[in-house]
Chains A and B, each alone.
Chain A
Amino acid sequence: MNDLLRRYGKGLTFGFIGLTFFWLVILVILPDFKLLESSFRPYLPVVDVGGPKDSYSLANYGRIFGGEVEMSIFGVHVVVAPRVKVLLYTIWYSGVVTLVTFLLAYPLAYYLAKIVSPKSLPTLFLLLFVPLWVSEVLRSFAWWIILAFKGPLNAALMALGVIDTEIRWIDGYSPVIIGLVYTYVLFMVFPLYNAMQSLDSNQIEAAEDLGAPWWRIHWRVILPHSKPGIASGAVMVFMLSAGSLLVPAIMGSTTSGWFTQTIQGIMLEEHDWNTGAAFAFMLLIVCTLVVSLAMRVFKVKLSDIAK
């Protein structure tokens, strides 16, 4: 603080701090608190707001359990509320997206960190970043076109003789998974790259010199070293996927409900911000629980991720 004052003077210092404070408190914390508070209150006509009916309860949160629908969880048929089903699918497929991004990002990050010559690294990073210059909406639509029934992907596969008849890509959750993987894969690549880059290459050579085949070098040396990077990448991809609205909205099929779409429907179509807020916090809580559980299973500490 004193250092800041000496370096930038009073005006600038309080300018920085004031703007950061404004952004954090007025634009982030207060609205969230307002939403949290309103999530416990009923959705009432304006005249009743502040009246006797306006009392705190968990009723909005309970609304997730309305209705009944069948679903199967690992082959076991259960009857759940439709919104619970959408929430469970959202969590499950966000997990799938996280796993797929990891499987794609690991070899790429390894290639960038340990194999490619440092001279061509800037070019490769540029190539990775270029797609980010295009808006997410455009990229999602592009994928939607690529995956279309009479689209270029099917045409190419048929021309190559890989398939005989078109595949219906836009069906169920697959287009959403493809879209999310494409959108968030870099959030996995960069933490992994950072982690692997800090590994002393001599350790890889030492393992090889001791007779280890390539897969054991990865399993015993590179993968354990990359764990913090995997953890932070996985948390980011999982949270971003579960909270994504645009990709499921554009790429979704008729049977792929995403919980963010449920929240959007309640807020913007039913105009019930109170229930919408309750559902949004529920998504946040469930995601946090899943992440903490996964961290415990994989023995990752929060301080590892922060590194």
Chain B
Amino acid sequence: MSAGVDLDNVCCDFGNFRAVDHLTVSIQPGEFFSFLGPSGCGKTTILRMISGFIEPTEGAIRIGGKDMKGQRPNQRPTALIFQNLALFPLMPVWENIAFGLEVRGVGKAKRRARAEELLALVDLHDSADKMISQLSGGQKQRVAIARALAVEPSVMLLDEPLAALDLKLRQRMRAELRAIQKRTGVTFIYITHDQGEALAMSDRVGVMSQGRLQQVAGPRDIYNNPVNGFVAAFVGGNNILTGRVATRSGGLAVFDTALGPFRARIAADVTAGKLYVRPEHMTLQATPGAENSLPVTLSEVAFEGNAISVHAVTDNGIAMVAELRNDGSTAIPATGARMHMAFDASNAAILPDSTTAGA
């Protein structure tokens, strides 16, 4: 029932603007796949191309191996959940959910029964006869999901459906969406600019920037092994140092910066880039270490409960941040103190700026 989606060298132009640039990715049947990127990176365009509202300028889209060229949205085995949900306010909840069945000529009694079933699936009992305006934000969300599931799509497309909810509800709906996806086994393609959402729910994440796919990988790889500077900086925080690669041996390189040389991981095909270190990989110490440490002046110490965020400035004015766990292992330093930030070479990476065109 669920189907894979193949995007094969897909491009989409709006006038002179290329919104999606040579996108190739193969989404497996039953996979929860997220496109993650800042607004304007082309992710909504991808969704609208898969659902059939926009035809790609170049390339092919296949759903379940079948080329979708020329197929209208009402002919595709996809269901789209809109960012503003687009529920029908003049129909009661059950007619909203059963709309897709009504279109397919299913009788009224059967439609009603199926709507009740789906309402149970999304944990929304006794709401069949309510009007949409009587529901809360989270309930509307569930109705939208049930309405999309009613047509038994092979692929569900979700366009930032949680963006309008408050934080607590958003976190609960994340878990529920994931659970519904597991229960139904439908392929989910999810669009978001929220890295937390993408990492928490997805089997794989595709990070987008300016119409290009930067990296496709599982959430852990995206976070731990970003392929370039854009992915590293967009997903999670980073300390960034500029410089040049001096010498390299066995996956490590010496990186010359204005603050001295540092050792860090480097991929075989990378020749130039910047040095990236996650704040949680930075440690704070009173004396300089043998290598990979730099003197800083603490500018702000923010106590956040589970963590302590230490903001500091290097001698040449670069802002750095270290995130220390509040486990008693480190004394909480004072603002204005002179200290040294240090990191392990295996936790630092030299990454190129961004994937080049045509990748």
Contact = CB atoms under 8 A, between A and B. Distances in A.
16 contacts: A200-B84, A203-B87, A206-B80, A208-B74, A209-B51, A209-B53, A209-B79, A210-B74, A210-B79, A210-B100, A211-B104, A212-B99, A212-B103, A213-B74, A213-B103, A221-B88
Nearest to B150: A210
10 residue pairs, one from A and one from B, having the closest CB atoms: A202-B86, A206-B86, A210-B100, A211-B103, A211-B74, A212-B103, A209-B73, A209-B80, A224-B90, A202-B82
Contacts of B84: 200, 202
B82 A206 contact: yes
Interface in B59-76: 72-75
B26 to A, nearest CB: 23
Nearest to A214: B74
B74 A205 contact: no
Contact of A211 (B82, B87, B151): B151
A63 interface: no
Interface residues of B, number: 25
Main SS class of interface, A: helix
B147 interface: yes
Contacts of B79: 209-210
Interface residues of A, number: 17
B74 A212 contact: yes
A53 interface: no
A168 interface: no
B2 interface: no
Given A200-B84, A200-B86, A211-B104, A205 B53 contact: yes
A222 to B, nearest CB: 11
Interface of A: 200, 202-203, 205-213, 216, 220-221, 224-225
A203 B87 CA distance: 7
A207 B78 contact: no
A203 B88 contact: yes
A206 B78 CA distance: 11
A53 B52 CA distance: 81
B72 A208 contact: yes
Nearest to B78: A209
Contacts of B53: 205, 209
A212 to B, nearest CB: 5
Contacts of B72: 208
B99 A210 contact: yes
Nearest to B52: A209
A114 B194 CA distance: 32
Nearest to B53: A205
Contacts of A202: 82, 84, 86
A209 B90 contact: no
Contacts of B151: 210-211
B61 to A, nearest CB: 15
Given A203-B88, A209-B78, A213-B74, 9 more contacts: A205-B86, A206-B86, A206-B88, A208-B74, A209-B53, A211-B75, A211-B103, A211-B104, A213-B103
